[in-house]
Amino acid sequence: MDGLSSVNKGQRMSVRVATPCRLHFGLMNAGNVSDVPRFGGLGLMIDAPDIAVSVEAAMEWSADGPSAIRALTVAKLVTHTPHHITVENCPPEHVGLGVGTALALAVAKALRPDLPTLELAKLTGRGVRSGIGLHGFDLGGFIVDGGKQDGELPELLTRLPFPADWRIVLARPSIAPEWHGETERTAFARAPQKHHDEMLDTRRRVEELVRTGTDFAGFATALHEYNRQAGLWFEAVQGGVYAGLAVTAVVESIQKLGIVGVGQSSWGPTVFAFVEGVDRAEWLAKRLRVVDATLTISTTTAANHGARIG
């Protein structure tokens, strides 16, 4: 049997997979420094937005819902037997939330739950650079990606539960995503060849503060600094630490409100801001709506769980 692609006694077998999206706080080695693993970095799985898909065997291939074409393309990489793919929930692609990896793995796992996630990543072409979404799909929580060497998938260094009372506000300016495809490849080609010793110290500080979970102010300061350092890899192509004027304006608006733990997720345009407690998160979201009514704003928490099947 090819995964769950058989039809038993005329009844369709349906499988559902729901997975968190992720924040990516920045790469450790974007410039291919030869004596350390390439890429690597820090990230966090979040409860919302999330992705949910269901699959069922069918007489011919079909799909519906947001990003249905991408989901169908992934499905055909995993099984030769036709299925209908329903994408129940999926945020926009290329906004800094790891949607491509999360959607691909959700579809692949629904079709082939017998295969480990890293094997599904190889089948679907994920994990070319970041391992945050791969390991987070299985484990949830705060992920330290050790990077990759010799064409292997990125190594998991550390997985930590994230404090439940540390909340996240997400703010996304209404601009077209541009940092993917050829634009992204060009950015990596132009990344400077430099060592990342300063970033390594900052990464370790962030990791330890998450591990202890007792010093929010220290965590917020260290995370912002790590994200800023990560942005310097691409300063020449982004025009600054962040990906363009609109993202920079959102970061600065949040900082003016006294929030320290702010930065850009992956290539943006999603901006994250960490705060303590529900009340503080709701206050920040409300203030940002006043500052810029065009922003897409939401509040969320860490997802200390991986994908759920069934």
pLDDT score of 4 more than 60:
no
Q: What is the pLDDT of residue 12?
A: 56
Mean pLDDT across 250-277: 97
Nearest Cα to 243, choosing from 45, 7, 24?
24
- 122 C-beta neighbours (distance < 10 Å), count: 12
Q: At what angle do helices 68-78 and 99-111 cross, to 10 degrees?
A: 50
Mean pLDDT, rounded, of the chain = 92
Rounded to whole angstroms, the Cα distance separating 175 from 35 reads 38
* pLDDT category of residue 2 using cuts at 50, 70 and 90: very low
* Strands, sheet with 166-172, edge to edge from the N-terminal-most edge strand: 261-264, 271-276, 166-172, 296-300
* pLDDT category of residue 229 using cuts at 50, 70 and 90: very high
pLDDT score of 10 more than 50:
no
CATH number of 14-309: 3.30.230.120
Which of 46-55, 110-119, 234-243, 290-299 has the weakest average pLDDT?
234-243
pLDDT tens column, 132-189: 999 999 999 999 999 988 778 999 999 999 999 999 999 999 998 777 778 788 887 8
Rounded to whole angstroms, the Cα distance separating 50 from 78 reads 22
Percentage of the chain exceeding pLDDT 90: 80
Q: What is the pLDDT of residue 48?
A: 97
CA angle 242, 22, 36 (to 5 degrees): 70
